[in-house]
Amino acid sequence: MANTVRTQSPHSGATNQNLRAHNLSLALRHILANPGAINRAGIAAQTGISRATMSRLVDELIATGLVEESDDKLSTGGRGRPTSVLSPASGTVIALGLQVNISVLGAYLVDLSGNVLARETLEGDFSGSDPQATLRKLARMGRRVLREGHEEGTTFLGSALALPGLVSGDTLVTAPNLGWKNIPFDELTHPLHDLHVTLIANEADLAAFAVAHPRPGVPEGPASFIYVSGEVGIGGGLVINHQPLSGAHGWSGEIGHICVEPQGNVCSCGARGCLETIAGLKALCRAAGLEDESSARELTQLAGHSAKAQDALANAGHALGQALAGVVNTVDISQVYLGGLVAETALYLLPTLHEELETRVLQAPWYAPAIDILPSSEDLSLRGGAFQILERILDDPIHWKDGAF
């Protein structure tokens, strides 16, 4: 889904076309940020574009089906008559978020307004699974979700695939807890060929994007933060000013493989003493006296009356605090959000986690790290992936309008 490149002479009108594309994008982003609460005059006032020009731009967006103008009226706040309000059109353009994680497969179909049109998840144990067999299951799920949410006249933009591993260039380099390694994208996506996967990324990075952008094209979430989540593994995503801090190879945020116990147990990555060997779900269950396959809910229930389980979680809080302190000291981000397993067990992790951060973070006496819990984080990677696909329209609405997107 590459953008079309048009070669033009310096005097052929490229500047006007680029300006038009920029202004269309600007108008659409204002509508997405204020659905049902903004009109043409409001966008013109906020952008500095003339009312006549903005009205033409909005007409274009309505004609392409990206925006709808409702009969609901918005007061002008003065003597003028109330005017109709603008909203992103529901269901006109859609994207699919797909995910493979250690214990669940997922598929979410999302439209430009951020509404989930259809969804499906499948729980299981996918560690050590055959990649092609697992992705065929995911493909069947994705097709069902797409059929359920796709209506006549709807344009499907493609899919994003979230994975718990290192993604670089055209290869899944490694997903240690899945047991997948060095799989080229064309091989990885072959079972998903009809779902048009155009983005493959780390699941924690996509989740962090969804935290920063709770709706497509709307960066109204927190601006700069560290997102930490996990189940068997522990992953993280870094965001600064609503933009991912991905690193030179796109591999930043691998907090689960920070060493917190040099002589500790061997991690799935091959190193000793990684955070995952203490704070991952299987490690916690073993330390608490549960079976490896036990759930986070069973772990927290046991911790309600078991000193052994409480000690395991307190130790995990210490380890997580040590790892996070190193990240905070390195990147100077003091806002932390916890999701997944880390959020579910936060009641028992937080005391020792705070203790470590207060002791180890250099800026703590002046800017103490803030820890917030995201209790409903299971779909963030799916949303974040679909949102990034939908963002392509916002970045290039002129090609969408001209039929070249």
- Residue 8: its pLDDT value, please? 36
Paired tokens of 58? 């909005």
Give the whole-angstrom CA distance, residue 369 versus residue 241. Answer: 17
* CATH topology classification for 225-373: Nucleotidyltransferase; domain 5 (3.30.420)
How much is the pLDDT for 294? 86
pLDDT at 9: 38
Closest CA to 265 of 290, 289, 288, 282: 282
Q: Where in the chain is the domain with CATH 1.10.10.10?
A: 14-89
pLDDT at 292: 82
- DSSP symbols for 264-317: SPBPTTS-BSBTHHHHSHHHHHHHHT--TT--HHHHHHHHTT-HHHHHHHHHHH
What's the rounded Cα separation, in Å, for the pair 267 and 312?
A: 17
- Burial of residue 107 (CB within 10 Å: 0-12, 13-18, 19+) is buried
Q: How many whole angstroms separate alpha carbon 114 and alpha carbon 383?
A: 8
Check residue 268 and give its pLDDT.
Answer: 85
Interatomic CA distance for residues 132 and 25, integer angstroms:
39
Check residue 375 and give its pLDDT.
81
pLDDT of residue 76: 54
Contact, 202 vs 381, CB < 8 A? no
Identify the bridge partners of residue 9 per DSSP, sorted by sequence position. none
pLDDT tens for the chain, residues 1 to 405:
333 333 333 344 446 778 888 899 999 999 999 998 999 999 999 999 999 999 999 999 998 889 998 876 665 555 556 678 999 988 889 999 999 998 899 999 999 999 999 999 999 989 899 999 999 999 999 999 999 998 887 889 999 999 998 998 889 999 988 999 999 999 999 999 999 999 999 999 999 999 999 999 999 999 999 999 988 889 899 999 999 988 888 888 889 999 999 999 998 888 999 999 999 999 999 999 998 888 888 999 999 999 999 999 999 999 999 999 999 999 999 999 999 889 999 999 999 999 999 999 999 999 889 999 998 888 999 999 999 999 988 877 767 655 444
- Residue 161 contacts residue 195 (beta carbons within 8 Å): no
Give the span between the Cα atoms of 235 and 201, in whole angstroms: 13
Where do the CATH 3.30.420.40 domains begin and end in the chain?
A: 93-214+380-394, 225-373
Judge: domain 93-214+380-394, CATH 1.10.3720.10: no
The predicted pLDDT at position 72 comes to: 66
Burial of 47 (0-12, 13-18, 19+ CB in 10 A): middle
When the candidates are 1.10.10.10, 1.10.287.3510, 3.40.50.300, 3.30.470.10, the CATH number that belongs to 14-89 is 1.10.10.10
User: Residue 234 phi/psi, 5° resolution?
Assistant: -120, 125
**Cα angle vertex 381, ends 375, 384, to 5°?**
110
Q: What is the pLDDT of residue 18?
A: 81
